[in-house]
Structure 1
Amino acid sequence: MNGRRLFLVLTIWVAWLAGPSHAQGFAGLGSDADGFAVPQPDPQFSFPQDHGAHPDYRIEWWYLTANLAAEDGTKYGLQWTLFRSALAPEDGTGWQTPQLWMGHAAVTTPDRHFVSERLARGGIGQAGVTADPFEAWIDDWVLQGDWAQMQMRASGPDFSYDVGLTAEGPLVFHGDDGYSVKSAAGQASYYYSQPFFSVAGTLSLPAGDIAVTGTAWLDREWSSQPLSDNQTGWDWFSLSFDDGAKLMGFRLQQTDGNNYTSATYIAPDGITTAYPDGAFSATPLENAAQREIPVRWQVVLPAKGIDVTVQAINEDAWMSTTVPYWEGPVDVNGSHQGYGYLEMTGYE
């Protein structure tokens, strides 16, 4: 991409993402749907088609996080994300397409956080998603395979990774069979995950190549207005426990100081139980030294006897991207032991 085109894409992204808070700006999530399709209850998913893009919806992402370890036991976190946003509810070709793409990649170590970002316009082959065969890409970053076996690559100025993913459990659907309500007013998204990937591959960092193994969690979500106009950000947890169970939970911050919450408990065999607003809680316990953002939390789901402390492996896992946020691996201790990932938006 030449400098002028890059500037135009950046200008479009910044103008579209601008808003009263980072969370609103991050995906235009609180603005009106403006003619885009809107998720409806009782979704009827169709695969592999729904692994692909939905250009009639404004916002969509393919979001993978991984908890990894080297042979010496050192813990690492890995992120690969492709965001699609639309200026109009259509696809189009070439430079006329209203589809915009943004990619984020990161590697987190106990004392470093490596971040890279890519921006692209759809329709010119620089970024996109095909459903069958599945391939999501932006420039030379790629996530591809048949959702049973996947390969993933990305790189930045001082890091790269190339890892293989193997699904060892089923897809899971959040909320009401994949219809995930996000506010008391009823805003919602379509939301499903593959939280059962095993991972093996190589991280390339300034100190050299590192062979790693672990697990990964891939989220798929799309909507056109999933937040209400009084919501300013979110805290999202994906936790894996030593007994094989998993927990997805989020709280959405509101301007009145309250939070809207939702959670999905995932049994080791993939059977899910959805929990509505108020059943799950996440309470900040301690902020990072570098900025006013919580890096230790108490997470509670009484219905499953879950009362755990979630602690960041690296406090400074700040995504210094076009719209900044915090994303990093965590340790889990308390009623359950385990690990996971934490994402926080709406913070400075």
Structure 2
Amino acid sequence: MNVKALAVAICLAAPATGQGFAGLGTEVDGFSVPQPNPTFDFPADHGAHPDYRIEWWYITANLDGADGVEYGLQWTLFRSALAPEDGTGWETPQLWMGHAAITTPTDHFVAERLGRGGVGQAGVTADPFDAWIDDWSLSGPDFDTLRMTAAGADFAYEVDLTATGPLVFQGDRGFSVKSSEGQASYYYSQPFFEVAGTLTLPEGEVAVTGSAWLDREWSSQPLGGDQTGWDWFSLSFDTGERMMGFLLHEGEDTSYTSATWIEPDGSATPYPNGAFAAEPLTITDVGGRDVPTQWQVRLPDRGVDVTVTAMNPQAWMETSVPYWEGPVHIEGSHTGRGYLEMTGYE
């Protein structure tokens, strides 16, 4: 089939007025919509939800190499649906897209895969857990013990992830509101993965260890029609606490915010719109785009006032829907490392 047509279908729509970023603000008909007070069913909810329009399995990792270099790692599987049903063969309305990346202080390696679910090219099963697209996979006997693999033209990786803490439910017990109009997703994370494995780069193999953060989200209209992108932070502090926070752009000077404070034992406190703040400090030319690559991030209720700086400011994902994604360093009231994703800067 036409790969470009498949990419357009997977992305649902290009950014446009009234549709939100990448069409995620378009109104839906026939799809299920997240409701408050969700009840999750595991391990089933680790799998796919074909009656919702958009879903992802998203892993980012901060790693240290045996060569003394810091690395960032990304593995993402996106599912989008043209209709709220599963289907078989090439007629399935379930479409899949995979992104993989390795970031170093000087390079950013990116690859993308596109696929149909009904022919076995891509999909997710819950028990035992297996998520795949082509020869990329995230799989294991359960959701706590996973092996993650991917490869591009000039890189590859194979790493093991072992959970050392519980799942964390974002928003109100997993119901994550994204706009003042009430658009929302079901959203939980596993921010306690330890990582060990091997990266393959043009100069050879590198053994790595570190930590990873997995995000699971599904919805049908996660954004408002006027929301043009977001800035998402996952921050792991040296003291053991973690924090997730995001800004959703609603205009030149306005945004909708949300945050979650995570204790070392996994207990979480959600914060509503307005409690979390992030302001750009440094703007970098990234392939002709003005992209914020250093931020002042605050969560006053927890005494957080930190500078978040990109390890490699040029970590641009040149994919069907382009965006910025890369590892960051944290300094100020707290220190540590994390990941930053920014969309809507094309």
Q: Separation in 2 of the partners of 1:105 and 1:237? A: 18
1:17–1:24 CA contact under 8 A, matched in 2:
no
TM-score norm. by structure 1 comes to: 0.96
Task: Report whether the alignment pairs 1:160 with 2:163.
Answer: no
Task: Report whether the alignment pairs 1:92 with 2:87.
Answer: yes
Q: Separation in 2 of the partners of 1:276 and 1:161? A: 37
Secondary structure, aligned partner of 1:12 = helix
Out of 44, 48, 57, the position equivalent to 2:39 is 44
- Give the partner amino acid of 2:178: K
In the TM superposition, 1:1-348 aligns within 5 A as 4-13=1-10, 16-20=12-16, 24-26=20-22, 28-145=23-140, 146-255=142-251, 257-290=253-286, 291-348=289-346
Q: Separation in 1 of the partners of 2:235 and 2:29? A: 35
Q: Separation in 2 of the partners of 1:57 and 1:247? A: 27
Identity of counterpart residues, as a percentage? 67
- For each residue in 1:82-116, what CA deviation from the matched residue of structure 2 results, as whole angstroms up to 9, or x when unmatched? 00000011111111110000000000000000000
Q: Separation in 1 of the partners of 2:20 and 2:73? A: 25
Q: Separation in 2 of the partners of 1:51 and 1:259? A: 30
Q: Separation in 2 of the partners of 1:142 and 1:256? A: 39
Q: Separation in 1 of the partners of 2:312 and 2:42? A: 37
| Shift, 1:72, TM fit | 3.5
- Give the partner amino acid of 1:80: W
Secondary structure, aligned partner of 1:331 = strand
2:21–2:229 CA contact under 8 A, matched in 1:
no
Structure 2: 5+ residue stretches without partners:
none
Secondary structure, aligned partner of 1:226 = coil
2:10–2:96 CA contact under 8 A, matched in 1:
no
- For each residue in 1:311-343, what CA deviation from the matched residue of structure 2 results, as whole angstroms up to 9, or x when unmatched? 000000000001100000000000000000000
- Give the partner amino acid of 2:43: P
Secondary structure, aligned partner of 1:292 = strand
Q: Separation in 1 of the partners of 2:126 and 2:20? A: 29
Q: Separation in 1 of the partners of 2:262 and 2:8? A: 41
TM-score norm. by structure 2 comes to: 0.96
| Shift, 1:230, TM fit | 1.2
- Give the partner amino acid of 1:281: A
- For each residue in 1:213-236, what CA deviation from the matched residue of structure 2 results, as whole angstroms up to 9, or x when unmatched? 000000000000111111110000
- Give the partner amino acid of 1:253: H
- For each residue in 1:187-242, what CA deviation from the matched residue of structure 2 results, as whole angstroms up to 9, or x when unmatched? 10000000000000000000100000000000000000111111110000000000
| Shift, 1:289, TM fit | 3.4
